[in-house]
Amino acid sequence: MIFFRNDYGEGCVDSIMQLLIKSNEESHPGYGCDEYSKRAAEIIQSKLPDTPSDIHFIVSGTLANLTMIRHCLRPYEVVLAADTAHIVVHEAGAIEAIGHKVFTIPNSNGKITPSSLERAYLRIIEDTTIFQVPRLVYISNSTELGTVYTRNELEKLSEICKKFDMYLMMDGARLGPALMSGVDYSLNDIARWCDIFDIGGTKNGGLFGEAIVITNPDLKPYFRYVQKQSGAIMAKGWLIALQFIGLFENDDFYKCAKHANELAKQIQDSAIELGYPMYMRSTTNQIFIVLNQIQYKYLKERIDFEIWGTWGNDTVIRLCTSWHTSQEEVDYLKVYMKEAMDQYVLSVQTEEEKEVSSEEKE
């Protein structure tokens, strides 16, 4: 069984492991008040030279989203997000559970378009029966469908948010693959466009951890109080900091993402060449393939993947590459996909032969 279920199913890159071993016999202050946390924040800030930022560390993506949104909003203010967004479909209603409505916008390839955002905002403020204030726009990059925002899209979303006095928040759980997908922008640009965002370590070579970056001066005060109240400050905070020192000190963050993207492209190109329908074309490390019943039955015995949904009578699966995925695993996957397709073609030919035989007998 070859593992392509997710990009967080293995441990961590060696640079982080060596830091953990080195620091294991050391003693540190708690709750992120240690030298490693300070150093990690300084390294990340060095990647954002144009925007002085406050940087905090949280153990998981859902907790990062919850804490950021809770910090940004008053009780009557709402979040605007794509209907495919992680906070909508994958977090058990965590945002609603803290008292904030998530107002969904129909997605376009997993993204919010500037025009749809403007329409959604006007709909909320013009409907006097809603009694909610749109204050925060949530986007993820890369998205839940493996797609990536363009520079133009992010610039326009940022402009609309400023125009309507809303915050722009980016869920960067898979920001590494997004930045290494061929886009013409960097972390430094994201810091200029977004009021608050996070950089994901969990899904890009770290054991765990998200780095929260707050760029808007209005949002900087008191974040740690909300963080603590949300159960999002880890006593052994230096352990999260070590993840980001390891990922950014020698650019392993970018190397991991580049590796995952390159292998994912091989898989997607092979699937297309073999004739598999694609649920969504991706430029990052998530690949969405449509399987008929014969292909699904064959592949599920050999590959560990995630079922994403259905498409008519077919099944949509997600294959995910990571920093740990090897070329050998990808090569085996290609063979299995060819065998599954061959088996399907053979079954179709057999059925056609049966029909011809039946017609001849008649």
- pLDDT tens by residue, 313-325: 999 999 999 999 9
The pLDDT score that the predictor gives to residue 360 is: 52
For residue 5, being part of any structural domain is answered with no
User: Is the domain of 227 the same as that of 264?
Assistant: no
User: Is the domain of 26 the same as that of 95?
Assistant: yes
Cα atoms in the Cβ-side hemisphere of radius 13 Å centred on 205: 28
Structural domain span for residue 62: 12-250
User: Is the domain of 292 the same as that of 163?
Assistant: no
Distance in angstroms (rounded) separating the CA atoms of residues 226 and 218? 15
For residue 1, being part of any structural domain is answered with no
Residue 290 has pLDDT above 90, yes or no: yes
For residue 238, being part of any structural domain is answered with yes
User: Is the domain of 148 the same as that of 187?
Assistant: yes
The pLDDT score that the predictor gives to residue 21 is: 97
Other C-beta atoms within 10 Å of 328: how many?
Answer: 9
User: Is the domain of 245 the same as that of 257?
Assistant: no
Tally of domains in the chain: 2
Distance in angstroms (rounded) separating the CA atoms of residues 149 and 301? 35
How do residues 80-130 score in pLDDT, each as one tens digit?
A: 999 999 999 999 999 999 999 999 999 999 999 999 999 999 999 998 887
User: Is the domain of 221 the same as that of 266?
Assistant: no
Prior bond of 142 cis (ω within 30°)? yes
For residue 7, being part of any structural domain is answered with no
For residue 233, being part of any structural domain is answered with yes
DSSP H helix total and E strand total for the chain? 14, 13
Going by the DSSP 8-state scheme, the letter that residue 284 receives in this structure is S
Residue 135 has pLDDT above 80, yes or no: yes
CATH of the domain at 232: 3.40.640.10
The pLDDT score that the predictor gives to residue 351 is: 64
Span 145-172, mean pLDDT? 98
User: Is the domain of 58 the same as that of 160?
Assistant: yes
Report yes or no: 174 and 284 within 8 Å, Cβ to Cβ: yes
Percent of the chain topping pLDDT 90: 93
User: Is the domain of 65 the same as that of 185?
Assistant: yes
The pLDDT score that the predictor gives to residue 146 is: 96
Single residue among 187, 221, 250 that ends a domain in this structure: 250
CATH of the domain at 257: 3.90.1150.10
For residue 134, being part of any structural domain is answered with yes
How do residues 325-341 score in pLDDT, each as one tens digit?
A: 999 999 999 999 999 99
User: Is the domain of 210 the same as that of 257?
Assistant: no
User: Is the domain of 259 the same as that of 245?
Assistant: no
